[in-house]
Amino acid sequence: MFHQLLEHRWYRSQNEGRNIPLAEALSSYVDTVLRHRRDEVTVVAPPTASITLPIDVIDADGPEAAAEDEQDWRSKV
């Protein structure tokens, strides 16, 4: 947002042919740009009730087979 403010300040300085103070640029940026943007609450989806994590599935051959697969990953590449 700070970079956007600096860009706004630069454009105003170019249009008016004078150096715009940062405080004046901030007031202008809030009034002309931010005022017309939607609040982030309306853009971001409502929070979910819970966050779920993936469940590890145990291989039907047992943990030994899974351990062998993990050790021999180079042959699968």
The pLDDT of residue 20 is above 60: yes
The pLDDT of residue 49 is above 60: yes
Tell me, rounded to whole angstroms, the distance of Cα 55 from its chain centroid. 27
Is 47 among the domain residues?
no
Is 73 among the domain residues?
no
Domain total for the chain? 1
Type of residue found at 11: Y
> CA-CA distance, 42 to 38, in Å (whole number)?
7
> CA-CA distance, 26 to 21, in Å (whole number)?
9
Is 17 among the domain residues?
yes
pTM of the entire predicted model = 0.49
**Domain extent at residue 7:** 1-39
Please give the residue that has the higher pLDDT: either 71 or 19: 19
Q: How far is CA 65 from CA 14, 15, 57, 59, in A?
A: 69, 71, 13, 7
Give residue 9's pLDDT. Answer: 96
